[in-house]
Chains A and B, each alone.
Chain A
Amino acid sequence: EAEVAQSPRYKITEKSQAVAFWCDPISGHATLYWYRQILGQGLELLVQFQDESVVDDSQLPKDRFSAERLKGVDSTLKIQPAELGDSAMYLCASSFSGNTIYFGEGSWLTVV
């Protein structure tokens, strides 16, 4: 069964450093999402792509976060500089046409 791939699975970084997460969606899925989940809380949508275009990034802290999906396939989420409050799980998901979305296993970030 096709899966959404994410890496790294775990990342520890010092505050003020840069960190990046990578996501490879299910083949053929045009819609890609990045969510953030702080431990014990719900999922927060950071950015949604349709192919290579950003559809929604209203909750993305643009002073330090950036996301790209240059060729409309895989995507990178970057944080620079990282802050202690960025410690969370970053989840990537994809869907064929905005319908059922499928999640990756997530990337755990700890900022120290």
Chain B
Amino acid sequence: DAKTTQPPSMDCAEGRAANLPCNHSTISGNEYVYWYRQIHSQGPQYIIHGLKNNETNEMASLIITEDRKSSTLILPHATLRDTAVYYCIGHTGNQFYFGTGTSLTVIP
């Protein structure tokens, strides 16, 4: 599975869009990009995943570059409850490797 690189922390103003980047330059053609988040003291929560095309669900949007070497998770209108650690993962069906992720703080 591809190694991913994320900034350790980010801030976002409440009500604004939060754009969380992820670099996965070594991703292989059949690896999906998954995003999870972990709110303090809870288990990680699945957000979204994609392979090549951009994806959107009720929680977020996932934008994957055409070369698939990076992606961005977009929370369109961040709320205080979105404060969490966000993990970007490259996955082919084996182990899910959770790195240290990005700690997002939504500021009132």
Q: Residues of A with Cβ closer than 8 Å to B?
A: 4, 33, 35, 41-43, 45, 48, 56, 89, 91, 93, 97-106, 108
Indicate with 1 or 0, residue by residue over B28-60, a CB within 8 angstroms of chain A CB atoms: 000000100000011111100100000000000
Q: Residues of B with Cβ closer than 8 Å to A?
A: 34, 41-46, 49, 91, 93-101
C-alpha gap A67/B93 in the complex (Å): 22
| B contact residues around A98 at 8 Å (CB) | 93-94
C-alpha gap A91/B96 in the complex (Å): 13
Report whether B101 and A103 are in contact in the complex, using a CB–CB cutoff of 8 Å: no
Most chain B Cβ neighbours within 10 Å, of A43, A89, A98: A43
Q: Which of B43, B97, B101 contacts A93 (CB 8 A)?
A: B43
Known pairs A43-B98, A93-B96, A105-B42; list 18 more (Cβ under 8 Å).
Answer: A4-B43, A33-B96, A35-B98, A42-B99, A42-B100, A45-B96, A48-B95, A89-B41, A91-B43, A93-B44, A97-B93, A99-B91, A99-B93, A101-B46, A103-B43, A105-B43, A106-B42, A108-B41
Report whether A100 and B49 are in contact in the complex, using a CB–CB cutoff of 8 Å: yes
CB distance from A2 to the nearest CB of B (A): 13
| B contact residues around A108 at 8 Å (CB) | 41
The binding surface of chain B is classed by DSSP as loop
Report whether A101 and B43 are in contact in the complex, using a CB–CB cutoff of 8 Å: no
Chain A residue nearest in CB terms to B101: A42
Q: Which of A33, A35, A41, A103 contacts B45 (CB 8 A)?
A: A103
| B contact residues around A43 at 8 Å (CB) | 44, 98
Report whether A104 and B43 are in contact in the complex, using a CB–CB cutoff of 8 Å: yes
CB distance from A19 to the nearest CB of B (A): 19
| A contact residues around B99 at 8 Å (CB) | 42
C-alpha gap A4/B34 in the complex (Å): 19
